[in-house]
Amino acid sequence: MEICEPVAVSLRAILKHPNNLYPLLKLKLAARSIEKQIPPQPHWGFCYTMLHKVSRSFALVIQQLGTELRDAVSFFCSFCL
């Protein structure tokens, strides 16, 4: 079984810095949880999709805000693209 190059590089990076494994897993789980909180209306889907395309790390921070503030910031950011 051969591992594709990007996966092998990522795996090497994790093995070089094993202390980062727990925070990475925690971040991944938080991202999945946050994705479930996106409102079902199409305009919110567009706002959050654009936010993720611009900056995934910024999107994660925004999506940890309270609902009203999160939606307002996401809406504002979609206009700044």
Write the DSSP symbol of residue 4: -
Asked if residue 69 and residue 32 are part of one domain, the reply reads no
Does the structure show a pLDDT above 70 at 5? no
**What pLDDT score does 68 carry?**
87
Q: Which of 34-43, 54-63, 66-75 is modeled with the greatest confidence?
A: 66-75
Asked if residue 79 and residue 62 are part of one domain, the reply reads yes
Asked if residue 32 and residue 1 are part of one domain, the reply reads yes
CA gap 64, 2 in Å, rounded: 37
Asked if residue 49 and residue 30 are part of one domain, the reply reads no
CA gap 61, 39 in Å, rounded: 17
Rounded to two decimals, what is the model's pTM? 0.54
Asked if residue 53 and residue 23 are part of one domain, the reply reads no
Task: Tell me how many domains the chain contains.
Answer: 2
Write the DSSP symbol of residue 20: G
Does the structure show a pLDDT above 70 at 2? no
**What pLDDT score does 7 carry?**
55
Does the structure show a pLDDT above 80 at 65? yes
Asked if residue 43 and residue 81 are part of one domain, the reply reads yes
CA gap 19, 44 in Å, rounded: 36
Asked if residue 78 and residue 42 are part of one domain, the reply reads yes
Its domain, for residue 28, covers 1-36
**What pLDDT score does 4 carry?**
55
